[in-house]
């Protein structure tokens, strides 16, 4: 089973992805984690990524798509992918369709965690204290949030027509969100 979790920064995608990894024995494909790993390894791509992240910009699709392809074509991860924060743009969504088609896979469920700006700010301020993430500064978060709204609206329109698209109120408690997801998965 392949799943997409999408929503604004701080919506709880990572939390739900970690739960789903255990529940369906899957693999969390977090573009944020993949990008942070490139930064940690101090690669040329990592240096480009850190500049974008510090400015509150999304990393360009070409970089993200090339890093993602490795995971989609990994035979150990086939039909066990949980996309956390990808796709973020219409071109990424179309790229994912191509990669899945080429690897003979499909998306089984798409979960949109819909959260308002105030909830996101509270969550990210808490996450900054708990996880000490370098990209969790309020001004950076607000830039990412507005950029998310701008670039993800077409993705929302693209997926919301699908019968496997599910919008979930992301302001609910973690357990309530998990229960909603479980009900759609029938697990």
Query: In CATH, what number is assigned to the domain containing residue 42?
Result: 3.40.50.300
Instruction: With residue 155 as reference, give the H or E element that holds it.
Output: helix 138-160
Q: What is the predicted pLDDT for the residue at 97?
A: 96
Reported as half-sphere exposure (CB side, CA atoms, 13 A), residue 61 has a value of 11
Length of the chain: 187
Distance CA 139, CA 60 (A): 20
How many contiguous H segments (helices) and E segments (strands) does the chain have? 8, 5
Quick one: pLDDT band at residue 60, thresholds 50, 70, 90?
Answer: confident
Sequence-ordered strand ranges (E) for 15-128: 27-30, 81-84, 109-114
Please state the domain count of the chain. Answer: 1
The model carries a pTM of 0.83
Block residue for tokens 């090339």: 66
Distance CA 100, CA 140 (A): 32
Q: What is the predicted pLDDT for the residue at 24?
A: 93
Quick one: pLDDT band at residue 165, thresholds 50, 70, 90?
Answer: very high
Residue 42: pLDDT over 70 = yes
Residue 88: pLDDT over 80 = yes
Residue 84 · residue 31 · CB < 8 Å: yes
Q: Which residues contact 163 (CB under 8 A, 6 or more apart)?
A: none
Rounded mean pLDDT of the chain? 87
Quick one: pLDDT band at residue 12, thresholds 50, 70, 90?
Answer: confident
For residue 20, the enclosing domain spans: 3-185
pLDDT in tens, 117-152: 888 878 777 766 666 665 556 777 777 778 878 888
Q: What is the predicted pLDDT for the residue at 10?
A: 77
Q: What is the predicted pLDDT for the residue at 136?
A: 54
- Most confident stretch, 63-67, 134-138, 158-162: 158-162
**% residues pLDDT > 70 (the chain):** 93
Block residue for tokens 């759609």: 184
* Percent helix, percent strand, percent coil in the chain, to nearest 5: 60, 10, 30
- Read off φ and ψ for residue 79, nearest 5 degrees: 60, 20
């Amino acid at each position: 089973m392949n799943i997409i979790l999408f929503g604004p920064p701080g919506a709880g995608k990572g939390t739900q992805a970690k739960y789903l990894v255990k529940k369906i024995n899957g693999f969390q494909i977090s573009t944020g984690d993949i990008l942070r790993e490139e930064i940690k390894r101090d690669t040329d791509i990592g240096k480009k990524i850190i500049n974008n992240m510090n400015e509150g910009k999304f990393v360009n699709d070409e970089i993200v798509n090339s890093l993602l392809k490795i995971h989609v074509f990994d035979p150990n991860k086939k039909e066990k992918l949980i996309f956390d924060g990808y796709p973020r743009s219409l071109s990424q969504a179309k790229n994912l369709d191509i990669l899945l088609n080429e690897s003979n896979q499909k998306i089984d469920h798409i979960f949109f965690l819909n959260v308002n700006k105030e909830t996101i700010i509270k969550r990210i301020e808490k996450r900054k204290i708990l996880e000490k993430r370098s990209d969790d500064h309020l001004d950076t978060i607000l830039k990412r949030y507005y950029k998310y709204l701008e670039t993800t609206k077409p993705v929302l329109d693209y997926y919301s027509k699908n019968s496997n698209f599910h919008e979930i109120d992301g302001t609910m408690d973690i357990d309530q969100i998990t229960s909603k997801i479980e009900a759609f998965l029938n697990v």
